[in-house]
Structure 1
Amino acid sequence: MRAWAVVETGKPLQEIELPTPEPQGAQVLLEVTHAGVCHSDLHIWEGEYDLGSRGKMRLTDRGVVLPLAMGHEIVGRVVKLGPEAEGQGVKVGDVRLVYPWVGCGKCAACQRDEENMCLTPRSLGVYQNGGYATHVLATHVKHLVDIQGLDPALAATYACSGVTVYSAVNKLMPMDPEEPIVLVGAGGLGLNAIAILKALGHRRICIVDVDQKKLDAAREEGATDAVLVSGDDTTKRILDACGGPVAGVVDLVNGTQTARFAFDALRKGGKLVQVGLFGGELSIPLPLMPIRALTVQGSYVGNVKELRALIDIAKQGKIPPIPITREPLRNADAALNRLREGKVVGRIVLTAEAA
Structure 2
Amino acid sequence: MKCYCVVDFHQPLQLLEQAMPEVQGAEVLLRVRAAGVCHSDIHLWEGGYDLGQGKRLSLKDRGVKLPLTLGHETVGAIHEMGPLAKGVEAGRNYLVYPWIGCGDCPACASGRENHCAAPQSLGVYRPGGYAEYLRVPDARYLIDIGDLDPATVAPYACSGLTTYSALRQIGPEIYREHAVAIFGAGGLGLMAVEILHALGGKGAIVVDIDPAKRAAALAAGALAAIDGAAPDAAQQIIKANGGKPLQAAVDLVGAPATAGAAFDALIKGGKLVIVGLFGGGSTWPLALIPMKAISIIGSYVGNLQELRELMALVREGKVKPIPVHRYPLDQADAVLASLVAGKVVGRAVLTV
Structure 2 counterpart of 1:222: 221
User: How far apart are the structure 1 equivalents of 2:61 and 2:244?
Assistant: 42
User: How far apart are the structure 1 equivalents of 2:54 and 2:210?
Assistant: 29
Unaligned regions of 5+ residues in structure 2, if any?
A: none
User: How far apart are the structure 2 equivalents of 1:108 and 1:235?
Assistant: 40
Structure 2 counterpart of 1:257: 257
Structure 2 counterpart of 1:93: 91
Structure 2 counterpart of 1:199: 198
Choose which of 134, 138, 141 in structure 1 pairs with 2:139: 141
- Cα contact 1:178–1:204 (8 A) shared by 2: no
User: How far apart are the structure 2 equivalents of 1:309 and 1:204?
Assistant: 20
Q: Cα offset for 1:6?
A: 0.5
Q: Cα offset for 1:176?
A: 5.2
TM norm structure 2: 0.97
- Answer with 227-236 or 164-173: which moved more: 227-236
| Secondary structure of 1:175 counterpart | helix
2:246 is aligned with 1:246: yes
Structure 2 counterpart of 1:232: 231
CA RMSD of aligned residues (A): 1.1
Which one-letter code corresponds to 1:200 in the other structure? L
Q: Cα offset for 1:54?
A: 5.0
- Cα contact 1:32–1:133 (8 A) shared by 2: yes
Q: Deviations over 1:156-197 (max 9, x none)?
A: 010000000000011111215341100000000000000100
User: How far apart are the structure 2 equivalents of 1:110 and 1:50?
Assistant: 28
Which one-letter code corresponds to 1:110 in the other structure? C
Count the aligned residue pairs: 350
- Alignment of structure 1 residues 177-216 onto 2, 5 Å: 177-216=176-215
Which one-letter code corresponds to 2:143 in the other structure? V
| Secondary structure of 2:25 counterpart | coil
User: How far apart are the structure 2 equivalents of 1:104 and 1:155?
Assistant: 26
- Answer with 233-242 or 215-224: which moved more: 233-242
Could you list the runs of 4 or more consecutive aligned residues of structure 1 that deviate by over 3 angstroms after TM superposition?
Answer: none
- Alignment of structure 1 residues 197-346 onto 2, 5 Å: 197-242=196-241, 243-346=243-346
Structure 2 counterpart of 1:26: 26
Which one-letter code corresponds to 2:38 in the other structure? C
- Cα contact 2:166–2:299 (8 A) shared by 1: yes
- Cα contact 1:36–1:349 (8 A) shared by 2: yes
TM norm structure 1: 0.96
User: How far apart are the structure 1 equivalents of 2:230 and 2:205?
Assistant: 19
- Cα contact 1:221–1:320 (8 A) shared by 2: no
Structure 1 counterpart of 2:45: 45
Unaligned regions of 5+ residues in structure 1, if any?
A: none
- Cα contact 1:149–1:315 (8 A) shared by 2: no
Which one-letter code corresponds to 1:315 in the other structure? R
